[in-house]
């Protein structure tokens, strides 16, 4: 990395860069070097480093929660119409629901479910489940 660019980077940017290098490190030696750089960064700007770590942890937690939603819906979405759920329970389009399930960018930010929307989604799945459970075909 260019030294001039490195000086102009914020602590958060430096932390994110080191984090990505750590994730992609090919050896334990490379990780050890990165960890030393992380310690130096923490010493240079303890408050900025703490903010960067906390923000990264919050994002990781949010991503994990969203991933769980997507994974949980993967099996359900093969069995029932997401279009039906979007229209019937959210009064929205299938693309609106898909944006949230897949965290697609909307106005420059990843679309995510709000807590009450997760509740609505859970209600929809239970409601559909009850309807399927009572459905009977007669001859």
Q: What is the pLDDT of residues 50-81, one digit of tens each?
A: 999 999 998 888 777 767 778 888 888 888 99
- Give the whole-angstrom CA distance, residue 49 versus residue 39: 10
The partner residues of 109 in beta bridges, in order of sequence, read 106
- Of the pLDDT bands very low, low, confident and very high (cuts 50, 70, 90), residue 37 is very high
Q: What is the pLDDT of residues 10-35, one digit of tens each?
A: 999 999 999 999 999 999 999 999 99
Share in percent of the chain as helix, strand, coil (round to 5): 75, 5, 20
d(CA 15, CA 53): 8
Closest to 66 measured CA to CA, from 19, 111, 119: 111
């Amino acid at each position: 990395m260019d030294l001039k660019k490195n000086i102009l980077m914020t602590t958060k940017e430096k932390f994110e860069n080191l984090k990505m290098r750590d994730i992609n490190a090919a050896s334990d030696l490379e990780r050890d070097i990165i960890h030393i750089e992380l310690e130096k960064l923490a010493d240079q700007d303890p408050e900025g480093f703490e903010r960067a770590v906390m923000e990264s942890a919050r994002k990781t937690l949010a991503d994990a929660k969203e991933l769980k939603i997507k994974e949980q819906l993967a099996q359900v979405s093969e069995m029932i119409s997401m279009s039906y759920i979007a229209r019937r329970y959210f009064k929205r389009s299938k693309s609106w629901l898909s944006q949230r399930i897949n965290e697609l960018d909307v106005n420059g930010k990843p679309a995510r479910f709000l807590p009450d929307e997760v509740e609505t989604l859970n209600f929809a799945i239970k409601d559909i489940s009850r309807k399927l459970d009572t459905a009977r075909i007669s001859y």
